[in-house]
A and B are shown apart, each in its own frame.
Chain A
Amino acid sequence: MTNTAGLVEIRWHGRGGQGAVTSAELLAQAAINEGKYAQAFPAFGAERRGAPVVAFVRIDSDNPIRVRAEIDEPDVVVVLASDLLRVVNVSSGLKADGILLINTPKTADEIIKEYHYKWALATVDATRIARETLGVPIVNTAMVGALLKAAEVTKLDSLIEPLKHRFGRLADKNINAMQKAYEGTTVRGKSN
């Protein structure tokens, strides 16, 4: 688990339509509801369904967030689509004591064997969980649950209100997806 005191910077990588931007928004709202300072925004571009997208979250429990720039040296990187690992350098700038969270059916060992990541690594099969709980492979809420297992930047309960507000009648299914993913996430320490 990564250090959650002070400023935590999280970068989300997904494909347009998976909900990376929504994940970022929900997480920031939960942190703000806890009385913390937070900021969420997408990489500003011409977003299209299926294209690689990036979103950012900063959370600071003590101080207002003033920096208005993309996150180059994140504490946490979240990857919503594991095929991006071959396309995008998702770990770019990730701090040495940071953590990489990947949506994949593979184990952490398999991922490390393939990509030689040197950071702490968390894995979750969010696509399976989303299919089972929501009936669609939209992993945004599942990945928020997985993130909170990998790095406890807010309480899991703090997400419930933003999820209800955002998803209305679909909120319960999404809360379920989030909780299932929280439970289904395995965290593996830093490789030496």
Chain B
Amino acid sequence: MTQRVGIEVSRAVAIAARLANVDVVAAYPITPQTHIVEDLSEMVASGELDASYIPVESEHSAMSSCLGSAAVGARTFTATASQGMELMHEVLYVASGMRLPIVMAVANRALSAPISIWGDHSDVMSVRDTGWIQIFVTNGQEAFDNIFCAFRIGEDRRVLLPVMIHLDGFQLTHVIEPIYLEDQDKVDKFLPPNEYPLPLDPDRPVTMGAFGPPDIYTEVKKAQDVVLTSSKEVILEAWKEFGDIFGRYYSPIQCYRCEGAKVLLMTMGSFSETAMSAVDAMRDDGNAVGLLNLRLWRPFPFAEIRQAVKDIDVLIVFDRALSFGGPGGPVCSEVRSALYNLDKKPKVVGFVGGLGGRVVSLAGFREIIERGTRIAKEGTEQEFEMFGVRE
């Protein structure tokens, strides 16, 4: 029976991994991901989850263990954040290059120095080009639901790629909120067993991760790009079927009160809900504003974004990461580039804020929308603006 319970989001993510019937969890604890893997370790120890929990000595080893277990066809889950993800960085490319459908929950957190345990998207942006499918969630329910979607998408024979589910550290991982926990039968109906087509098997030897000399490397990378780009069709299909079974539908971008809007704000992750409240307040005051909540970060949803902004005048993009000495926020930079060659396009204004756990309030998002609209009208020399910074 589906149950609506008040539960910490991290614990719900661990339950989702259990319901997905994972075979192997290899992880190293790091704030704010800790509760996810603590719970999984307890579930394995108590026999509630029939899986191997590999308590590795570092994140590099965590991801390396995941490569091995995914290669034999075991359903493999891990979680990390921040410096932990940096430590496993080089192995992330191997997971995607070898087409291993590992699922990883990332409790998004800032990067050192200075040391910050708090949330932003710096860690995400550092792994942007690792070839993983990357989905951002807005609340605990989306985090729970998308664990199932991640396995279903990644293990699909048309895809065979690793998937990251990004949930903001603390703002999601440490919050107790109402979540519908689904029952095993329904999950099983949505998520078939993992049938990895060419697993490592002593009786049927295969070579994996072979040498790629210049006469083949380019073709392999082209194939990888094609499969990641075309995985969008499978993602849409999985989200559609998830919605048909569970009643909750997801899309690459969520358009919130976009009807008739001339100004749209774009955000990613947990702050989107606060931003929605700001949009509500501004709509109440008669402003034609709306919100685009970007869920699918990779593959980047070019068509959906172009469609969503075709009739607007101003697009304000809020980033929680900074490209030092560059164009400011990575999301804004990509959106600008996606729109550049269009004949008719909105003015794009970038803000960077919410770094290292700095909260942006409802009033803050309202200020961002108002200021962004003004900048679009008056023009600016700056590539972006830092929001809420003391100078």
Are B359 and A29 in contact, with the CB atoms below 8 A? Answer: no
Contacts of A24 in B (CB 8 A): 176
Chain B: which residue is nearest A70 at the CB level? B359
Chain B: which residue is nearest A72 at the CB level? B361
Chain B: which residue is nearest A57 at the CB level? B176
User: Within B160-202, which residues are at the interface with A (CB < 8 Å)?
Assistant: 170-172, 174-178
Chain B, residues 1-28, CB within 8 Å of chain A (1/0): the string is: 0001111100000000000000000000
The reply to whether the CB of A136 lies closer than 8 angstroms to some CB of chain B is: no
Roughly how many angstroms separate A32 CA and B118 CA in the complex, as a whole number? 27
**Contact A41 to B175, CB < 8 A, known contacts A46-B117, A68-B270, A68-B271:** yes
Chain B: which residue is nearest A25 at the CB level? B176
The reply to whether the CB of B273 lies closer than 8 angstroms to some CB of chain A is: yes
Contacts of B362 in A (CB 8 A): 67, 69
The reply to whether the CB of B126 lies closer than 8 angstroms to some CB of chain A is: no
- Chain A-chain B contacts (Cβ-Cβ < 8 Å), number: 71
Residues of B contacting A: mostly:
mixed
Chain A: which residue is nearest B270 at the CB level? A68
B contact residues, total (Cβ < 8 Å): 27
**Contact A28 to B6, CB < 8 A, known contacts A37-B178, A40-B175, A67-B273:** yes
What is the distance, in angstroms, from B358's C-beta to the closest C-beta of chain A? 10
User: Within A21-48, which residues are at the interface with B (CB < 8 Å)?
Assistant: 24-25, 28-33, 35, 37-42, 44, 46
Chain A, residues 65-78, CB within 8 Å of chain B (1/0): the string is: 11111101000000
Roughly how many angstroms separate A32 CA and B175 CA in the complex, as a whole number? 13
Chain B, residues 252-276, CB within 8 Å of chain A (1/0): the string is: 0000000000000000001101101
Chain A: which residue is nearest B172 at the CB level? A68
Roughly how many angstroms separate A86 CA and B178 CA in the complex, as a whole number? 36
Chain B, residues 98-113, CB within 8 Å of chain A (1/0): the string is: 0000000000000000
Are A38 and B6 in contact, with the CB atoms below 8 A? Answer: yes
Are A68 and B6 in contact, with the CB atoms below 8 A? Answer: no
Roughly how many angstroms separate A162 CA and B277 CA in the complex, as a whole number? 30
Partner of B277, one of A25, A67, A72: A67
What is the distance, in angstroms, from A53's C-beta to the closest C-beta of chain B? 13
User: Within A147-168, which residues are at the interface with B (CB < 8 Å)?
Assistant: 162
Are A32 and B270 in contact, with the CB atoms below 8 A? Answer: no
Q: Which residues of B contact A (CB under 8 A)?
A: 4-8, 32, 117-118, 170-172, 174-178, 270-271, 273-274, 276-277, 357, 359-362
A-B residue pairs in contact (CB < 8 Å), sample of 16: A28-B176, A32-B5, A32-B177, A35-B4, A39-B176, A39-B177, A40-B177, A41-B170, A44-B118, A44-B357, A67-B274, A68-B171, A68-B273, A69-B274, A69-B360, A72-B361
